[in-house]
Chain A
Amino acid sequence: MVQTVVDNRILGYTKNMHAGAENLDNGNTAARVRVDDTFLSAELEMEFKLPDLKIVSIQGRIIRSFAEECKNNAKILQRAMGMRVGSGITRLVKETIGGSNGCNVFADMILEGCNAIIMGFTVDEIDKQLAAKTDEGYEQAMRDMLENNPRVASCIAFAEGNELRKRLGV
C-alpha cells in the first residue's frame, strides 16, 4: 500500500554559516565568515598577524536584517582590533563585541573565524595521520598524536583509559 501521509513540514527558521581560513602572500592569515539565516545576512573578513595571531584588520557588514537598525552595527567590529586568538578569546569577544551594547551575530562570526584559523593549523597534521597506508602507520600516527598532545580529557578520543589508549599502549 502506498503511504499517503508524510510526517514532514516546511522548514521554518533556517541558518547557514560558512567560515574559511587562508594564508596570505604577506605571511598573515585571513578568515572569511558568512551567515545567512531567515532574519539576517552578514559577512566578515579578518586578517591575523603571525605568530601571535593578532587581529590586524577586520571589516564586515550586515546585508539584510529584520530590524533595519542592525545594519549600522559594523563599527562595533573595530573593538576587536588587536585581540589575539588564544586562551580567553571566547569570553573577551562575547563581552566586547556581543552583549547588550554589542552585536551577538558579529561576536559569533568572529569566534567562528578564529576557530577556522586554529583548525587550519591542524589540518596538515591530521591529513598526514589519515593518509597512512598501513594499519601500523595509522596506529603509529595515532600513538604520536596521543603522546604529543596535552589535551587529556578534552574529548572522548583523548579520555584517559579509553579503548584506543589501551590498545595502543599509550
Chain B
Amino acid sequence: MFEFTRSKTIGTEKREDGIFLVHGFLDDNVYTIELDLEVKTPEFTIAGARGNMKRYTTPECPKAPSILNDAVGIRIGGADFETKIKKLVGRGGCRHLADLFIECCNAVFPALIQTQWKEARSNGINKDDFIKGLVNKEPKIRDRCITYSREGELAKRLGVSW
C-alpha cells in the first residue's frame, strides 16, 4: 500500500501576445495546491503569479501564496534560479508551493519548443531536421544532457557540432 503519493500536473498555453500561461496543480496526501503563472518570452520573466492552497496543515499555510507577488520580474533559468525560488517562495511561503512553482517554470522552455515543433511539422519539416535546427539556434539545449551533448550519439547521427 502506498504510504504517500504526490501527483503534479502542468499545462501550458501560449497567448497571442507571446505570454505563456502555465497552470500547475499539486495533489498529495497532505496538500492540494494550485498555481497560475504568466511568463513573458523571449525574456523568460515572470509576469504574473497566483496561487491557492486548497488543503494544508496549519492556519498560516493559506497566507503563503501572497509571497508570489515578489516573484514577478524574476527571470527563469540560470544557476541560482532554483535556490532563489526555494528561498523566496519556499522559506517565505511554502516549500511545496515553491516545488510547484519550479515545476511550472521548467515547463516554459519545453512549451516554447512544442510551439516551434508544431509549426515546423505543419511546414513539413521532419523531426531530425527540427532537432538539427534547434541545436543550431538554441544554445540552451546544447550540452544540456548526455543526449544533447557534443560527444553524444545524437550529434554524431545528425552530423551536428558546436
Given B57, B99, B115, B131, which contacts A126 in the complex, CB threshold below 8 Å?
A: B57
Q: With both chains docked as a complex, state the minimum distance between the C-beta of B51 and any C-beta of chain A, in angstroms.
A: 12
Given A15, A103, A117, A119, which contacts B30 in the complex, CB threshold below 8 Å?
A: A119
Given A17, A100, A120, which contacts B149 in the complex, CB threshold below 8 Å?
A: A100
Q: Return chain A residues, CB-CB under 8 Å to B59.
A: 163-164
Of the candidate stretches B37-45, B68-76, B151-159, the one touching chain A is: B151-159
Whole-angstrom CA separation of A83 from B148 in the bound complex = 26
Given A9, A98, A116, which contacts B6 in the complex, CB threshold below 8 Å?
A: A116
Given A37, A73, A100, A123, which contacts B3 in the complex, CB threshold below 8 Å?
A: A123
Cβ contact within 8 Å between B14 and A12: yes
Whole-angstrom CA separation of A163 from B58 in the bound complex = 11
**Residue-wise interface mask of B (137-162) relative to A, using a CB-CB cutoff of 8 A (1 in contact, 0 not):** 00000011111110011100100000
B28 in the interface (beta carbon within 8 A): yes
Q: With both chains docked as a complex, state the minimum distance between the C-beta of B6 and any C-beta of chain A, in angstroms.
A: 5
Interface residues on B, range: 35 or more
A67-B154, A101-B146 in contact; A155/B8 too (CB < 8 A)? no
**Residue-wise interface mask of B (81-122) relative to A, using a CB-CB cutoff of 8 A (1 in contact, 0 not):** 000000000111111000100010001001101110010000
Q: Return chain A residues, CB-CB under 8 Å to B111.
A: 12-13
Q: With both chains docked as a complex, state the minimum distance between the C-beta of B79 and any C-beta of chain A, in angstroms.
A: 11
Q: Return chain A residues, CB-CB under 8 Å to B11.
A: 11, 13-14
Of A69, A129, A156, chain B has the most CB atoms within 10 Å of the CB of: A156
Q: Which residue of B lies closest to A129 (CB)?
A: B57
Cβ contact within 8 Å between A69 and B147: yes
Cβ contact within 8 Å between B4 and A20: yes
A115 in the interface (beta carbon within 8 A): yes
Q: Which residue of B lies closest to A10 (CB)?
A: B13
Q: With both chains docked as a complex, state the minimum distance between the C-beta of A157 and any C-beta of chain B, in angstroms.
A: 4
Q: With both chains docked as a complex, state the minimum distance between the C-beta of A75 and any C-beta of chain B, in angstroms.
A: 10
Q: With both chains docked as a complex, state the minimum distance between the C-beta of B64 and any C-beta of chain A, in angstroms.
A: 5
